[in-house]
A = this chain, B = another copy of it.
């Protein structure tokens, strides 16, 4: 589960990503509580979601109601304006917020994200270095859960923050 980057002579950059079958985790998770599933992804026992490899991110901390990812914004995340695309922060925040909800769910309960809202307060660049994306569960109800999240750098500067709503569903 890794990615390699190399700069070609003519200015073209390349990166090769590799990932495992994401259904392995999807199927295994049906028998696990959220905490068990997240811990197995963090330890490498279960493969992480491929999109996290695209985002150059990995689990940093998993506890009940709070999940932290570390990710490094890079040139291949750029928008046409010369900074990192908002999709990078949205993807990280969506992941961390949804996982913070997942961490509160027992085996037999699944979830789906209904909506996310992301505020961008500072631009991320390839000079920013690794950032922490922290998701925190706000409300865990019977049918609906909400969470919030933040992206900060090592000095505590805030780059983006968001909220999400998830639908909780009993597995059949």
Contact = CB atoms under 8 A, between A and B. Distances in A.
Contacts of A144: 114, 121, 167
A17 B75 CA distance: 12
A163 B163 CA distance: 8
Contact of A25 (B41, B50, B80): B80
Contacts of A12: 18-20
A87 interface: yes
Contacts of A78: 22, 49-51
A82 to B, nearest CB: 3
A77 to B, nearest CB: 6
Interface bin, chain A: 35 or more
Contacts of A113: 86, 120
Given A55-B87, A85-B49, A29 B161 contact: no
Interface of A: 8, 11-23, 25-27, 29, 37, 41, 46, 48-51, 53-55, 75-82, 85-88, 90-92, 94-95, 98, 110-123, 138-139, 141, 143-144, 146, 148, 158, 161-163, 165, 167
Q: How many copies does the complex hold?
A: 4
B50 A77 contact: yes
A139 to B, nearest CB: 4
A20 B7 CA distance: 10
Closest 10 CB pairs of A and B: A87-B91, A26-B82, A22-B78, A90-B90, A51-B85, A117-B117, A121-B139, A16-B16, A50-B76, A14-B18
A158 B84 CA distance: 28
